[in-house]
Amino acid sequence: MMVDASFPLISVLIALPILAGLAIPLLFKNSQKYIIHYAVIVALIELAITFYSYGLILTNGSGGEYNFVEGPVTILGNFGIDYLVGMDGLSGPLVLITSILTLLVLFGSRDLIEDRKVLYYSMIFIFEGSIMGVFTQLNMILFYVFWDVVLIPMFLFIGIWGGPRKRYAAMKFFLFTFVGSIFMLLAFILIYFNVTPHSFNIPEVAGKIPLSLQVISSVLFFIGFGVKLPVVPFHTWLPDAHVEAPAPISVFLAGLLLKMGGYGFLRFNIGLLPEASAQYAWIFILVGIITMFYGAIVAIVQTDIKKMIALTSVNHMGFVMVGAFTGTVFGISGSIFQMFAHAAAVGIMFMLSGYLHEATGTRNITVIKGLKFTSPRLATLLILGSMAAMCIPIFSSFISEYMVILGAIQVNPIYALIVAVPAITVGYFLWMLRRVVMSDLKPGTKKWDLSNISTIALVLYLVPLVLTLIAPWLILDVANPISTFYAALVSGGAA
Amino acid sequence: MDTPLIVLIVLTSVAVTSPLYGIIFGKKSLKYVQYLTTLSLLISLVLLISSTLSLTPQESTVPHLLRNDSLGSFFSLMVILVTLFVTITSFDYMKDNSNENIYYSLLLFTAIGMTMLSFAVDLLVIFVAWELMSLPTFILAGYNKRDKLSNEAAVKFFILGALSSGILLYGISLMFGITGSTNLDIISQSLPTVSADMLPFIIFSTISMLAGLGLKLSIVPFHMWIPDAYEGSPTTISALLSAATKKAGFAAAIRIFAVIFPIFSFDLALALSIVALVTMTVGNLAALTQKSITRMLAYSSIAQAGYLLIGLVVLPYSDLGLLGLLYHSFNHAILQASAFLAAALVRLKTSSSSLDSYNGLSKVMPITSFCLALSLLGLAGIPPLNGFWSKLVLFAAAVDGGYTWLALAGLVNSAISVAYYLLVIKRMYMDETSLKSIKEPFLFISILVFASVVIIVTGLLPNILYNISEDITLSFLSNNPV
C-alpha cells in the first residue's frame, strides 16, 4: 500500500534546510556564537521528519512504489516540467543517510571549520536540501536542476575552505561533473520527444522508451552518472577534490555526492532503460569491476591517508555499479545497502583523517607513528573505522558487499573474481594501521586526543552500521520491493 | 492604442530637447536631463508592458510601416528596460565627463532606433531604424575622447557599421527589385510567385541582409569588431550594445526571415545552423583565453548569439524555436546587462577591467560580486536561474525541429562556457586581494540588485515569461505562417 502523509512531507524535507540555510546570513550577521546550535536544531528536525517518513515506508512495506507523492504542479507551461516528488525504496535509504550525515558533519565542522562560518553553514543546508531534491524528484528536468544546484555549494566548500590546491580542485570538480550532467540533460530531452504523450515525468515515461533510444540514452547516462559515481575513466576529479576538501566536506563528497551517481544508475539506467541495461549489462559490470580493482590497487601505494580513503570510495562505488547491473534482487538491494553503509563507513574515515591532521600536522601514512601511544581514542576509532571500510562482519558494510557478490555470481560465476577486491582492501588498510597505529613512538611526539564530544560524534557514525548488521531488515525491507520490481524489469528486458 | 508611435513621440521629445537645456540652464540642467530621460523611459516601459500583455495586434496609425504587435512590444520592452538600466547607472559612471547632456540624449536616440526597429515591417523603415540605432552608438562608443582605446573602438565600430549598413541596403534593394515592394507583407505574398530564375537573386539578397544584420547580431564571421568595441567603449555602452541593440537586431531578423523562410526553408535553415554552430564555438573558445572581463563578456555575447540563432534555425519546424528565441532574448538581455554593468562598476572603482582586478573582489565589493556571480551563473545556464530555462527551451526546440546535433553542440558549448564564467567567480570568491574596502554607490547597486532579483524570480518561477513568450509566438505565427 502506498503511503500518503497529510502534509507535504517531501517538500518540507527539501524546503526546510534550504530556507534555514538562506536565513543564516540574516540571523547570524553579527554574532556567530550560536550558529552551531541553530544548525544542529535544524538538522535534528530534518532528521526527525526523515525518520518519520522512513518509518512509515518501512512499516507499510511500500518501498516498491512512490510514497508521499506531491504534484504534478506545473513549473514551465505545457513543456512537461512539473514539480513531482515521491519517495520509494531506492530514495528512502538515501534520504535517511543524508539527514544522518548532515547532523554528523555539523558535529565535525564544529571542531574543524573556523572562518566564514555564516557562508559555510548556510551552504551546508542548501547542499542538504538540494540533495534531498535529487533523491526525491520524479521529474527529469527538476532532477537535473537539483543535480546542478548541488554543485555550487560543493564548489564553494572545496574552493574556500580547502587545502593548498583548493582552487584547482574546485574548478576541476565543477567542470567534470557539469560536463557529465550536460549529456544527461540531452538524454532527458531526447526521451521527452520520443515518448507519447511527451513527458519528463519518470512514472509516465517508464516502459515507453524505444530500444534504440534506450541504447543512446544509456551511453549518455553512463557519462553523466559515471562522472559522479565515479567510474574509472571519469574518476580523476575525485582524489583531487577529496585531498583538498576539508574533512567534513569530504564526508559529504563521499557520503552523499557519489551516491547521486549510484542513484542515477539505478533510477534511470535500470528503471527507465531496463532493456538496454539487460543487453549491455556486461559492459557496465566490466567497467564496475575495473573501477573496483583500480580503486583498490591504486589505494595500496598512497601515502596520503585521505587519498587512500578516497580511492577506497572509488573501489566501493564499483560494487554499487556491479550490483545495480546484475539485475538481480540481491545485486540491486545490495547496491542500495552498499550506498547506505559506505556513506557511514567512509564518513568516519574521512573525519578521522581530518582529526589525524589536527593531531599530527600531517596525513602522511609513512610519517605518523605510534598513534596508539599519543592518541588512544583516535587510534581505537581509526581501527574501528578501518574495519567498517574493510567490510569486516561486525559492520553492515559486510552484508552489502556480500549481497552484491552473491548477485554477481548468480548472473555469471566468473564474476566471483570480485571477491578478491575486499581482500586487497583489507590488505592495504591493515598495512596502514600497522604503520600508523601499531608502530613505535618517535621520541618527543606531543600527545593530542579527541575531546569527549568529538568522540561521541564519531562513534555515532558506527551506530547505523552496527544497527543494520543486527537488523538488516531496517534497510532491506524498504529496498527489497523496489529491487524485486527492477529485477523483474531487467529480466523482462533480457528475455 | 498606438503604442509604438506614442513611445517614439515621448522619447523623441526628450531626446531632441535635452541638449538645449544645457544652453538655457547651464550646469544645473544635468539633473533635469537625467530625470527627464529616466521618466520618459519609465513611461515607455509601462506602455510597452501593457501592450505586450495584450496579444491581438492593435491598430497602428502607419500600418504599412510599423506593426503594433506583441512581438514588437516584447522586444522594445527589453531594449527600453536595458536602456533604463544603462541610463541610471550612467549617473555615476559618466559623472564629471564633458557634455553629459548629450550623452543621455544619444542614449535616447539609440532607444528610439531600437524601438522603431522592433516594430518595423517595411524594409526601408528597418533600414532607417537601423541607422538611427547605430549612429548614436558610434558616438557613444568613442565618448571618452582622450582615451585611445575608446577612439579605436569608435573608428572600428563606425567603419564596420557603415559597411554593414551598406550591405544591408544592398540586400534590401535587391529584394525590392525582385518583388517590387519594400513592405514585408507584400513581399511575402509576391515571393512565392516570382519565377524560378530569380532564385539566385533571392538567395543573394538574403545573404546580404544576413551579413548586414549579422554585424549587429554578432554572428561569426561578422564579429571581429565586437571585442575591441566592447572593451574600448564606456562599459555602460558595452552593456547597451550587447544587451539591447543586438536584441533589436534579432527582432528585425525574425520579421525578415519569417517572410523568406517559406521560399527555401531547408537550405536557409541548414546554412543558419552552421553559422549558429560556428558562432557559439568561436565565441566560447575565444572567451576562454581572455584576460579582460569586457573582452570575455564580448565573446560570451557572441556565443550567446549562437544559441539564439538556434531559435531562428528551427523557426519553420517547431514553435518552440521562436518561443525559445524570445524567452532567451529577454533572459540574455537581463543577464548580459547585469554582468556588463557590474563590470562597469568595478571599472569605475578600480579603473581596470583586467581579470586580475577581480581577485578577492567579494571581500571589498560584496554586493557587486554577488550580482556579477549570479549573472555569470545565469549566462552559463546553471539552474535554477533564468538562463537555464530558456537555454533548455532552445535546445529542446533544436531536438524537436530535427537538429539534434545542434542541441548537442549547444550543450557541449554550455559546458565549455562554464569554465570561463566560473574562473571569474573563482577569482572573486577564492583569491586574495590587496584592495581596501570600496563604497558601492547606492543607485548603481540598486540597479544591479534589481536585475539580480529579476534573474532569481524568473528563474524560480519560469512560467511567467514562458507563457508570455508562448502567447507572443502563437500570435505571431498565426499572423505570419512560416
Looking at the DSSP bridge assignments, the partners of residue A76 are A81
Nearest C-alpha in A relative to B319: A79
- A388, amino acid identity: A
* Angstrom distance (rounded) from CA A492 to CA A486: 10
Mean pLDDT across chain B: 90
**pLDDT tens, A209-252?**
999 999 999 999 999 999 998 898 888 999 999 999 999 999 99
In a domain, B40, yes or no: no
* Angstrom distance (rounded) from CA B236 to CA B144: 12
Q: Does B270 touch chain A (CB under 8 A)?
A: no
Q: Does B445 touch chain A (CB under 8 A)?
A: no
Whether A338 and A400 have beta carbons less than 8 Å apart is answered as yes
**Which residues are within 8 A (CB) of A385 and not within 5 positions of it... i.e. 6 or more apart?**
A345, A348, A349, A352, A461, A462
- B256, amino acid identity: I
Q: Phi and psi (nearest 5°) for A368?
A: -70, 130
* Angstrom distance (rounded) from CA B480 to CA B482: 6
E strand residue ranges, A232-385:
none
* Mean pLDDT across A391-410: 91
**pLDDT tens, B227-250?**
999 988 999 999 999 999 999 999
Tell me the nearest-neighbour CA distance from B397 into chain A, angstroms.
Answer: 10
Terminal Cα-to-Cα distance of chain B (whole angstroms): 28
B chain contacts of residue A167, beta-carbon cutoff 8 Å: 426, 430-431
* Mean pLDDT across B358-386: 92
Q: Does B460 touch chain A (CB under 8 A)?
A: no
Q: What pLDDT sits at residue A1?
A: 56
E strand residue ranges, B161-302:
none
Residue carrying C-alpha cell 557613444? B140
Whether B467 and B326 have beta carbons less than 8 Å apart is answered as no
Give the gyration radius of chain A's Cα atoms: 21
Handedness of CA B405, B407, B413, B419 (dihedral sign): negative
Nearest C-alpha in B relative to A172: B419
Instruction: Encode A449-481: b = buried (16+ Cβ within 10 Å), e = exposed.
Output: ebeeebbebbebbbebbbebbeebebbbbbbbb
- Distances in whole angstroms, Cα of residue A279 to Cα of each of A188, A191, A273: 21, 19, 10
Handedness of CA A440, A442, A447, A452 (dihedral sign): negative
Q: What pLDDT sits at residue A48?
A: 95
Nearest C-alpha in A relative to B430: A160
Nearest C-alpha in A relative to B460: A75
In a domain, B215, yes or no: no
Residue closest to A423 by CA, chosen among A340, A321, A300, A324: A300
**Which residues are within 8 A (CB) of B389 and not within 5 positions of it... i.e. 6 or more apart?**
A76, B327, B331, B383, B459, B462, B466
ipTM of the complex: 0.91
Looking at the DSSP bridge assignments, the partners of residue B354 are B292
Whether pLDDT at B458 is above 90? yes
Q: Does B383 touch chain A (CB under 8 A)?
A: yes
Residue carrying C-alpha cell 524555436? B321
Going by their DSSP bridges, the two strands A67-76 and A81-87 should be labelled as antiparallel
**Which residues are within 8 A (CB) of A31 and not within 5 positions of it... i.e. 6 or more apart?**
none
Q: What percent of chain B has pLDDT over 70?
A: 99
Q: What pLDDT sits at residue A5?
A: 67
Residue closest to B224 by CA, chosen among B156, B147, B320: B156
* Mean pLDDT across B80-89: 95
- Give the one of A78, A185, A193 whose C-beta lies nearest to B400's C-beta: A193
* Mean pLDDT across B310-317: 89
DSSP state, residue B292: B
* Mean pLDDT across B401-408: 92
DSSP characters over A226-239? HHHTT-GGG-THHH
What is the length of chain B? 482
* Angstrom distance (rounded) from CA A100 to CA A94: 10
How many CB atoms lie under 10 A from the CB of residue B449?
Answer: 15
Nearest C-alpha in A relative to B363: A116
Nearest C-alpha in B relative to A150: B383
In a domain, B409, yes or no: yes
**pLDDT tens, B247-297?**
999 999 999 988 888 777 667 888 899 999 999 999 999 999 999 999 999
Confidence of residue B62 (pLDDT cuts 50, 70, 90): confident
* Angstrom distance (rounded) from CA A46 to CA A39: 11
Chosen from A73, A74, A186 to mutate, greatest number of chain B CBs within 10 A: A186
DSSP characters over B116-161? HHHHB-BHHHHHHHHHHHHHHHHHHHT-STT-HHHHHHHHHHHHHH
Confidence of residue B55 (pLDDT cuts 50, 70, 90): low
Looking at the DSSP bridge assignments, the partners of residue B66 are B120
Tell me how far the alpha carbon of residue B473 is from its chain's centroid: 19
How many folded domains does chain B comprise? 1
Whether pLDDT at B101 is above 90? no
Residue carrying C-alpha cell 573505522? A385
**pLDDT tens, A401-438?**
999 999 999 988 988 888 888 899 999 999 999 998 88
Whether pLDDT at B470 is above 60? yes
A chain contacts of residue B400, beta-carbon cutoff 8 Å: 193
A chain contacts of residue B422, beta-carbon cutoff 8 Å: 155, 171, 174-175
A chain contacts of residue B419, beta-carbon cutoff 8 Å: 171, 175
> What are the residues of chain A with a beta carbon less than 8 Å away from any beta carbon of chain B?
74-79, 81, 141, 144-145, 148-149, 151-152, 155-156, 159-160, 166-167, 170-171, 174-175, 178-179, 182-183, 185-186, 189-190, 192-193
Whether A138 and A205 have beta carbons less than 8 Å apart is answered as no
Whether pLDDT at B480 is above 80? no
**pLDDT tens, A179-189?**
999 999 999 99
Domain ranges of chain A: 9-494
**pLDDT tens, A67-87?**
899 878 888 878 888 999 999
* Mean pLDDT across B454-465: 92
The region, left, alpha or beta by phi > 0 then psi within -120 to 50, assigned to residue A222 is: alpha
Whether pLDDT at A473 is above 70? yes
Terminal Cα-to-Cα distance of chain A (whole angstroms): 29
Q: What percent of chain A has pLDDT over 90?
A: 66
Confidence of residue B58 (pLDDT cuts 50, 70, 90): confident
Q: What pLDDT sits at residue B431?
A: 86
Q: Which helix (H) or strand (E) holds A76?
A: strand A67-76
**Which residues are within 8 A (CB) of A96 and not within 5 positions of it... i.e. 6 or more apart?**
A50, A51, A54, A340
Whether A138 and A67 have beta carbons less than 8 Å apart is answered as no
Cell of A230: 565515479
Residue closest to A315 by CA, chosen among A385, A427, A230: A230
Residue closest to B161 by CA, chosen among B233, B99, B268: B233
Q: Residues A369, A375, A378, A382: what is their CA dihedral angle, to the nearest 10 degrees?
A: 30
* Angstrom distance (rounded) from CA A58 to CA A277: 28
Residue carrying C-alpha cell 565565441? B283
Looking at the DSSP bridge assignments, the partners of residue B183 are B122
Q: Phi and psi (nearest 5°) for A29?
A: -65, -40
Confidence of residue B433 (pLDDT cuts 50, 70, 90): confident
* Angstrom distance (rounded) from CA B175 to CA A458: 78
- Give the one of A77, A159, A190 whose C-beta lies nearest to B399's C-beta: A190
**Which residues are within 8 A (CB) of B82 and not within 5 positions of it... i.e. 6 or more apart?**
B239, B240, B243, B244, B247, B333, B337
Chosen from A145, A147, A216, A244 to mutate, greatest number of chain B CBs within 10 A: A145
Q: Phi and psi (nearest 5°) for A73?
A: -110, 125
A chain contacts of residue B399, beta-carbon cutoff 8 Å: 189-190, 193
Q: What pLDDT sits at residue A494?
A: 66
Whether pLDDT at B75 is above 90? yes
Range of the domain at B466: 264-482
- B216, amino acid identity: K
- Give the one of B377, B399, B463 whose C-beta lies nearest to A189's C-beta: B399
Omega of the bond leading into B221 within 30 degrees of 0 (cis): yes
Whether residue A189 and residue B422 make contact (CB cut-off 8 A), yes or no, is no
Q: What percent of chain B has pLDDT over 90?
A: 60
Alpha helix (H) ranges present in B261-292?
Answer: 265-288
Handedness of CA B62, B66, B69, B75 (dihedral sign): negative
**pLDDT tens, A440-465?**
887 777 788 888 888 999 999 999 99
In a domain, B431, yes or no: yes
Q: Three-state DSSP class for A56? A: helix
Largest pairwise CA distance in chain B: 71
Give the gyration radius of chain B's Cα atoms: 21
- A50, amino acid identity: T
**Which residues are within 8 A (CB) of A126 and not within 5 positions of it... i.e. 6 or more apart?**
A17, A18, A21, A22, A149, A152, A153
The pTM assigned to this predicted structure is 0.93
A chain contacts of residue B470, beta-carbon cutoff 8 Å: 77-78
Residue closest to A177 by CA, chosen among A260, A121, A85, A102: A260
